[in-house]
Amino acid sequence: MKTSGNTILMTGGGSGIGRELAREFHALGNTVIVAGRTAKTLDETIAGRSGMHARTLDVQDAADIARFAKELTRDFPALNVLFNNAGIMAKEDWLADPVDLSVAEATIVTNILGPIRLTAALLPHLRAQATARVVNVTSGLAFVPLAHTPAYSASKAAMHAWTQSLRYQLRETAVEVIELAPPGVQTGLTPGQSTREGYMPLKDFIAETMESFGIEDTPAEVCVQRAKLLRGAEAGGNFDQVFKMLNDSYQG
């Protein structure tokens, strides 16, 4: 994809992958808007960076998404790239009696309904641009689930399928649809993850990912080398082995 001269919205831009991708794209000469629920962390992302902007958004709230999309397209009429990056991940205990569904319900609203609603709200504007892109951040767990986080894994599998369908429906428009599927990365997504052994250092993930986005004909799926074991497990005929390895080794 063209890596400069864009106006990019990055949800979940207050930390982790979203923050670092936003800063990298800004450094390449793009106007970048970071969005999230916490103004303080968004302000930290953009501090000292002219051409970066922060907007609060609760992706769990349909009315707030509608409000946000209206204001965003008014304030940034050149908006042409959407990164659906915001997401939550938490463990669930399905041996509990009763099962607490609050995590699953919040995960579905945040990780599935949030990006679907936001894309729907912005898509008429994006389709009117000369070139535009929607980038959906999924996960290697879309392809081999982590049993301790079933709703998260299922939400990313759903987003993978939805991304494929969206790409097909928009194939004759100016909107390119890309999926970014990270492996386990050292971020604050879950407690202790930022220093968890065996997870990919955030700096390394960002560097390899930006190399893929720097390719003029960016792949429909951006998948760093560390994520390819999960991505190719079913096609390679070793899904059961990879599933067992992933889940037996989990120490979250």
Q: How big is the chain by its Cα radius of gyration, in Å?
A: 18
CA count, 13 A, side-chain hemisphere, 165? 7
Helix axis angle, 16-27 to 39-46, nearest 10° = 30
Phi-psi region of 237 (alpha: psi -120 to 50; beta: other; left: phi over 0): left
CA dihedral sign of residues 148, 94, 36, 59:
positive
Q: What is the largest CA-CA distance in the chain?
A: 54
Which residues in 23-160 belong to E strands, given as ranges?
31-36, 52-56, 81-84, 132-137
* Tokens 């991940």, residue located: 89
- CA gap 179, 86 in Å, rounded: 14
Amino acid at 8: I
Q: Is 152 part of the annotated catalytic residue set?
A: yes
Contact 206, 116 (CB under 8 A): no
Which entry of 152, 168, 199, 250 is annotated as an active-site residue? 152
The residues annotated with a catalytic role in the active site are: 152
